[in-house]
Amino acid sequence: MVKLSPAMEDYLKRIYNLSGRSTEKLVHVSELASQMGVSKACASRATNTLSEKGLIQKSKYQGVTLTQEGKKRASTLFRRHNIITRFFSEVLLVDPIIAEKDACRVEHDISAESYRSIRQYLNSNKSGGSNSNPKHSA
């Protein structure tokens, strides 16, 4: 699997969301730039990098689409982000807005082992509620 910087992972996830998680819907670079809060030139450079890595296809003056590999990678990143966000907000009772922001930071650096443990914990405690929350069990 090709290594991506945290910024490139964020761009890939945003393209995934803007495309409706499809390999067919075109995402315009200007729309991507607006959503990411960056200049069109910055978004264009990022899409060039993702294209070089085979994760998107870039059509001059039209926009970008995910490749199958890009969709697969973005889906994994999206799932990871959501699981970490859920853990922070549902288990640790972190405010959802803060949980979302913190998950954006943690998702890029968390070890596979820690992520797997969080995912397993959430899967084994699907009912949620105060019984599965460590803050309530002390």
Q: What is the DSSP string of 45-95?
A: HHHHHHHHTTSEEEETTTEEEE-HHHHHHHHHHHHHHHHHHHIIIIIS---
Angle 28-34-39 (CA atoms, 0-180°, nearest 5)? 95
Fold (topology level) of 73-128: Diphtheria Toxin Repressor; domain 2 (1.10.60)
Q: Which sequence spans correspond to the domains of the chain?
A: 6-67, 73-128
For residue 4 the two structure tokens come to 């991506």
Check if CATH label 1.10.3210.10 holds for domain 6-67.
no
pLDDT tens digits, one per residue of 12-43: 999 999 999 888 899 999 999 999 999 999 99
* Under 8 Å between Cβ of 22 and 56: no
Phi first, then psi, for residue 66 (nearest 5°) are -75, 140
pLDDT of residue 127: 52
pLDDT of residue 129: 47
For residue 45 the two structure tokens come to 């450079």
pLDDT of residue 126: 75
